[in-house]
Structure 1
Amino acid sequence: MATKAKKPSHEAYVVTGEGESAFWTKVGGVWPHDDGKGFNVELTALPVSGRLVIRERKETIP
């Protein structure tokens, strides 16, 4: 198993609804494998509906 970086490179969301009325819920983090051929996904919740969407992580300024 690849060693995870301190912060994930991407974030996992469950999206329900469409367009402007879509509701995004963050449910986990995503780390790339060292060989660049896959990802580890850690979910903090298991969705029962909606779409699982992976997006690049945006750095936030504290």
Structure 2
Amino acid sequence: MEQRNADAADVGVKNRRPTFIAYQVRDGNDQASYWDRVGVAWSNRDGGYTVQLHSIPLSGRIVLSRPKARDEA
């Protein structure tokens, strides 16, 4: 029963724009940070988030940022 409810909630995610873009942020040697897009996240009705990662960073940190017009996918 739980699995079916989770699947039903995921169906709506495919047709919505993401709430956040997930970036891997790594600090560089020259005090610059490198931001690589690694996924997206959608808000759920219960206040939580569904996160879909396209890759899993081995170092650095993951930052969720609101999408800009050019970032929406």
User: TM-score scaled to structure 1, two decimals?
Assistant: 0.81
Could you list the runs of 4 or more consecutive aligned residues of structure 1 that deviate by over 2 angstroms after TM superposition? Answer: none
- CA RMSD of the aligned region, Å? 1.5
Residue in structure 2 matched with residue 8 of structure 1 by the alignment = 18
Higher relative contact order (CA 8 A, sep 6+): 1
CA distance in 1, matches of 2:16, 2:69: 13
* Residue identity matched to 2:44: H
Structure 2, unmatched stretches of 5+, are: 1-5
1:1-62 → structure 2 map (5 Å cutoff): 1=6, 2=9, 3-4=12-13, 5-17=15-27, 21-35=32-46, 37-60=47-70
Q: 1:40 aligns to what SS in structure 2?
A: strand
Q: Which has the larger radius of gyration?
A: 2
Q: Determine which structure has the larger helix proportion and give its number.
A: 2
Q: Determine which structure has the larger strand proportion and give its number.
A: 1
Structure 1, unmatched stretches of 5+, are: none
How many residues matched?
A: 58
